[in-house]
Amino acid sequence: MTIWKSQGLRMWFLGAAAATAIGTGLVATQLRHVDITYYRPQGERTIKFWTFRTTVRRILAEAKIPINTHNFVSQGLSQKVSGNISLYVKQAVPIWIRTAHRHFQYWTTDYRVRDILQTLKIHLGPLDSVYPGLNRDVSAGARLDVIRRWLSDKTVTASLPFATEYQPDPTLFQGHDEIKTPGQSGEKVTTVQVLYQDGRPVSQKILASRVVKAPRNRVVLYGTSQLVARGGQVVQFSQEISMVSTGYWPDPSWSNGYTATGLKAQYGVVAVDPAVIPLGTRLYIPGYGFAIAADTGSAIVGDRIDLCFNSGWQAINWGVRDVTVFILN
């Protein structure tokens, strides 16, 4: 757009009076032609006019061009003018710039995003982006977002849980189990590619995964054996106790042949600690058989049990053994 400023006194000088003035040398020293190219975000303007002003600052004021310390002017504002003048002016506008680590205001005479980043020496990486786009223009107060993105690989080690495998065991009583093989967890290593945006992970994908140690199953044996009494009757028990057993027989040289409860001491009668097994409790001891807790002894305390036999050699042959004592219902 070209604007001619020719009105009032200027038109008079350009008329017949101008010819007389030129003859005297008046206009040659005071009246000068101005040609301004003015760039703004809205577009380019061309301003042409005649003036008596003698400094760049006054000429711009007469052209109604805002004077801003951030503007670009091809000549200094205080520069004296002698003769015709051509000026190049770019209006600076404030914009806001946000990066991953900064948020600041910037006055720019570049209106295209690409040029603004180049002036600020802000370089974009292969995955970086900017909003608005590189080829977009900005206006006063615009916000320019520089978004940083990058990829990073990381290794993740995870534990693989073991499974539990159950196997029947006829040597164990029903309702009881035993760990044959303890389980062992495995280990898996995974390589993950993480996409970061402005320092925060936003997505990830698995690049590779391998098992470096396979898990080992835990094997549990469960009992299938039943306690069977005389005549094939199934006997139920309510509790089992691990105890240390010994054998004895009622030697007539020191025993009257009767227990603390008055029962005759014979095979099937056992001595216990009443605080552990109450007297009168029916029992089953593997390898010995069915019994009743009917006797006590000064040495029978805690988890000890004394089994009565009918002869001394049977008691000696039994010796000292670890047994599981089943308390019958």
**223 pLDDT band (50/70/90 cuts)?**
confident
pLDDT score recorded for residue 257: 87
Please state, in angstroms and as integers, the Cα–Cα distance from residue 163 to each residue in 13, 152, 218, 222, following that order: 106, 34, 6, 16
Q: How far apart are CA 4 and CA 49, in angstroms?
A: 5
What pLDDT does residue 175 have? 72
Q: For residue 230, name the pLDDT band (cuts at 50, 70, 90).
A: low
Instruction: Return d(Cα 107, Cα 271) in angstroms, integer.
Output: 102
The helix/strand/coil state of 62 is: helix
Average pLDDT over residues 64-83: 90
Q: Measured between alpha carbons, how far is 234 from 4 in angstroms, rounded to an integer?
A: 122
Query: Model confidence at 100, in pLDDT bands (50, 70, 90)?
Result: confident
Where are the domain boundaries for CATH 3.10.20.90 in the chain? Answer: 93-147
Q: What is the mean pLDDT of the chain?
A: 87
Nearest to 51 by CA among 16, 88, 83: 83
Helix (H, G, I), strand (E, B) or coil at 14: helix
SS3 61: helix
Instruction: With beta carbons less than 8 A apart as the criterion, state whether 69 and 168 touch.
Output: no
Domain 152-222 fold is Resuscitation-promoting factor rpfb fold (2.20.230)
Query: Any idea which architecture 93-147 has in CATH?
Result: Roll (3.10)
In this structure, are residues 37 and 63 in contact, taking their beta carbons and an 8 Å threshold? no
Nearest-angstrom CA–CA distance, 269 and 307: 7
**Angle of CA points 196, 197, 199, to nearest 5°:** 75
Asked whether the whole model's pTM tops 0.75, one would answer: no
Supply 53's token pair.
Answer: 């002003």
Predicted local confidence at residue 232, as pLDDT: 60
Q: Report the pLDDT averaged over residues 211-220.
A: 94
Please tell me the predicted confidence (pLDDT) of residue 171: 79
Provide CATH 2.20.230.10 ranges for the chain.
152-222
Return the CATH number of 2-90, one of 3.10.20, 3.30.2450, 3.40.1010, 2.40.128: 3.10.20
Percent of the chain with pLDDT over 90: 71
pLDDT at position 227, please? 64
Lowest mean pLDDT among 20-24, 100-104, 146-150, 191-195: 20-24
The pLDDT value recorded for residue 229 is 55
Q: Look up the CATH architecture of domain 226-328.
A: Beta Barrel (2.40)
Q: How confident is the model at residue 28 (pLDDT cuts 50, 70, 90)?
A: very low
- Model confidence pLDDT, tens digit, residues 179-214: 999 999 999 999 999 999 998 999 999 999 999 999
Mean pLDDT of 306-314: 94
Whole-number pLDDT of residue 30: 82
Number of alpha carbons in the 13 Å side-chain half-sphere of residue 127: 10
Under 8 Å between Cβ of 245 and 322: yes
> Would you say residue 21 has pLDDT above 70?
no
Instruction: Note the pLDDT of residue 172.
Output: 78
Strands (E), 174-251: 177-181, 186-197, 200-213, 218-225, 227-228, 234-235, 237-248
The CA-atom distances, in angstroms, between 172 and each of 113, 282, 300, 327 are 81, 20, 27, 16
Residue 25, pLDDT above cutoff 60: no
Q: Does the pLDDT at position 66 exceed 70? A: yes
pLDDT tens for 105-156 read 999 999 999 999 999 999 999 999 999 999 999 999 999 999 999 999 999 9
Q: How far apart are CA 128 and CA 122, in angstroms?
A: 11
Contact 84, 52 (CB under 8 A): no
Residues 282, 328 contacting (CB under 8 angstroms): yes
User: What confidence score (pLDDT) does residue 253 get?
Assistant: 82
The amino acid sitting at 228 is V
